[in-house]
Amino acid sequence: MKVSGAVPPVLETRGVTKRFGRIVANHDISIRLEKGEIIALLGENGAGKSTLMNVLFGLYRPSSGSILIDGEEVSFASPREAIAKGLGMVHQHFMLVPTLTVTQNIILGDEPVILGHVLYRAARRRVVELSERYGLHVDPDARLEDLSVGLQQRVEILKALYREARVLILDEPTAVLTPLEVEELFSVLRRLAEGGTSIIIITHKLEEVMSLSSRVYVLRRGELVGERRTSETDAAELANFMVGRDVVLSVERGEAVAAPEPILRLEAVSVRGARGIPALRGLSLGVGPGEILGIAGVEGNGQAELCDLVVGLARPDSGRIVFHGRDISALSLKRRMEAGIGYVPQDRRGSGLVLPFSVEENLALGSCEGPPLCRRGFLDFRALRENALRLMEDYDIRGAGPEVSVSTLSGGNQQKVILAREFSRKPDFLLVAQPTRGLDVGAIEYVYRRILQLKAGGTAILLISMELEEIFALSDRIAVLHGGELAFEAPTSRTNEIEVGEHMIRGRTDRRAS
């Protein structure tokens, strides 16, 4: 352990405050980061974590307080100035160009140029060298749009290292990663720290804090409420710091009351993916009222296509989808919503929200063609506002008022907008994909409770999640997708994570002999 004060911290904030009008996003925050250290910044959605990091990276200027690099006070007017001082940031939503190659993305804006010509081959060699040095293996010539989310994140990290970042800030780095990708990322970050890179992880996931960081700072409502050495605390204490009370994530899901006739069922459904390759093969499953069916599987095994089929964004090549005994295979998304189907999509920004719209407009999407939000063909703006204020309070949506653009909210609060909109409709059937992605422990506890309330009210729920712990906590039955096929299905009480994980990796184990 370094002796405090013997060597100036690589990075330090002293009394940093950031205001947006009357809203105080950060108040009097002081943190420090030593060379080769990994620290975590923990807090609820809207606690001010991302705002503080955006201040450090030059995206915002502090209203008061100071930032020090190697003991010297600095002031950043832009990210370019922060990068020049050795700071690099990997944002929660990647800042990459899908149609460019890995190398082109990494060098974009910092291309080596002689006499007006970009030295692409030299840049590519450096990308390869950095990739091998830090174990961030990625094809330098691959187009970004062809890479998994985990590989795209590696590109973001390489982009920062290419600019010689000594301090790496990662905002919710595991929010969209598979468990295997999380393990690989952590291995990379530990290697970087051993090589002298200092790292700040912004997160709400307690298990990641305990696994990766040496120290943790906890923010609540914009203020620093705790600092601990990770070895001297536990998840329960940190959760209490975050939300100001004890948090319980164990749930009583009750007994399934599925009827013999499911509310929604897929009958031998097959469909091809975007590139014409079979994505689902003869899939049959059903969900009854008051039942939660959890879909487990490694990402890319047909989950996205299943979502599109159920909500009407795609039609099956064969087979059919039946809802309340009626074939709805040809119905549009709008008609399915009107019939009583709800949907929480995996990609909140791309599919769940209209980012330029206000919070109140997003909360009304799909419900503004009739009373109480619309009267005689005209929107009732008073009713729109009242609806938004009620849902914002009920679902603890923080960060701004109902009139501001939803794009200004944190990722977790954007997710809450979608959950509030879909849950409040009380649908007969709900497809919910990654419901707690990007949410803190307090919000997760709340979402679990709401899902179980819908179930108790008779809603049939199809849950798709990358979190096995979540699948087991909420589901009455568990099904595994592998290669677009139903590889396994069992009541939750008759299986375990090891058995489910085996089917996720290998598919149907009764095929091993063949």
pLDDT, residue 282, reads 94
Position 430 in a domain:
yes
Q: Tokens for 314, please give them.
A: 């795609």
Q: Which pLDDT band holds residue 428 (cuts at 50, 70, 90)? A: very high
Can you give the CATH number for the domain in which 199 is found? 3.40.50.300
Least confident segment among 71-80, 249-258, 271-280: 249-258
Residue of 433 and 468 predicted with greater confidence: 433
Q: How many CB atoms lie within 10 A of CB 492?
A: 20
* Residue type at 243 in one-letter notation: V
Position 22 in a domain:
yes
Helix or strand run (H / E) with residue 228: strand 223-229
* Residue type at 77 in one-letter notation: A
DSSP class of 260: S
417 and 448 belong to one structural domain: no
Q: Which pLDDT band holds residue 508 (cuts at 50, 70, 90)? A: low
The whole-angstrom separation of Cα 53 and Cα 240 is 23
The pTM (predicted TM-score) of the whole model is 0.66
Residue-by-residue DSSP string for 333-347: HHHHHHHTEEEE-S-
Helix, strand, coil abundance in the chain, percent, nearest 5: 35, 25, 40
Q: Which pLDDT band holds residue 514 (cuts at 50, 70, 90)? A: very low
pLDDT of 371 above 80: no
pLDDT of 62 above 90: yes
**β-pair partners for 378:** 375
Mean pLDDT in residue range 207-227? 90
Position 410 in a domain:
yes
Position 345 in a domain:
no
Position 182 in a domain:
yes
Cα Rg, the chain, nearest whole Å: 24
Position 273 in a domain:
yes
pLDDT of 271 above 50: yes
Q: Which long-range contacts (CB under 8 A, 24 or more apart) does 277-282 make?
A: 278/484, 279/304, 279/305, 279/484, 280/305, 280/306, 280/309, 280/316, 280/484, 280/485, 281/483, 281/484, 281/485, 282/319, 282/485
pLDDT tens for 5-61 read 578 999 999 999 999 888 889 999 999 999 999 999 988 777 888 889 889 999 999
234 and 255 belong to one structural domain: no
Which residues span the domain enclosing 475? Answer: 248-340+426-514
Identify whether the C-beta of residue 413 lies closer than 8 Å to the C-beta of residue 51. no
The whole-angstrom separation of Cα 295 and Cα 474 is 11
Domain boundary among 424, 450, 475: 424
pLDDT of 466 above 90: no
15 and 146 belong to one structural domain: yes
pLDDT of 461 above 90: yes
372 and 267 belong to one structural domain: no
The whole-angstrom separation of Cα 511 and Cα 405 is 51
Least confident segment among 83-87, 91-95, 220-224, 301-305: 91-95
453 and 489 belong to one structural domain: yes
The whole-angstrom separation of Cα 42 and Cα 239 is 9
Q: Tokens for 403, please give them.
A: 């009139």
Q: Tokens for 177, please give them.
A: 């990663």
pLDDT, residue 246, reads 65
- Report the domain count for the chain: 3
Mean pLDDT in residue range 382-403? 85
431 and 419 belong to one structural domain: no
State the greatest distance between any 2 C-alpha atoms of the chain, in Å, as a whole number: 75
The whole-angstrom separation of Cα 70 and Cα 506 is 50
The whole-angstrom separation of Cα 178 and Cα 162 is 26
Cis-peptide into 260, omega within 30 deg:
no
| Torsion over CA: 73, 58, 156, 131 (sign) | negative
In three-state secondary structure terms, 431 is strand
For residue 179, with 0-12 CB atoms within 10 Å meaning exposed, 13-18 middle and 19 or more buried, which class applies? middle
pLDDT, residue 255, reads 59
164 and 223 belong to one structural domain: yes
Position 17 in a domain:
yes
The whole-angstrom separation of Cα 308 and Cα 464 is 13
Domain boundary among 197, 213, 243: 243
72 and 152 belong to one structural domain: yes
pLDDT of 443 above 80: no
Mean pLDDT in residue range 162-178? 83
461 and 390 belong to one structural domain: no
66 and 208 belong to one structural domain: yes
The whole-angstrom separation of Cα 113 and Cα 122 is 10
Cα–Cα–Cα angle for 258, 448, 391, rounded to 5 degrees: 110
Domain boundary among 368, 389, 424: 424
Burial 365-404 (b: 16+ CB within 10 A, else e): bebbeeeebbeeeeebeebbeebbbebbeebebbbbebee
Q: Which pLDDT band holds residue 260 (cuts at 50, 70, 90)? A: low
Position 100 in a domain:
yes
Q: How many CB atoms lie within 10 A of CB 189?
A: 21
402 and 442 belong to one structural domain: no
Place of tokens 């990641």: 208
Q: How many CB atoms lie within 10 A of CB 191?
A: 14
Identify whether the C-beta of residue 477 lies closer than 8 Å to the C-beta of residue 295. no
Rounded to the nearest integer, the mean pLDDT of the chain is: 86
101 and 205 belong to one structural domain: yes
Place of tokens 């090891």: 498
Q: How many CB atoms lie within 10 A of CB 512?
A: 8
Mean pLDDT in residue range 485-506? 87
Identify whether the C-beta of residue 106 lies closer than 8 Å to the C-beta of residue 162. yes
What percent of the chain is modeled with pLDDT above 90?
Answer: 45
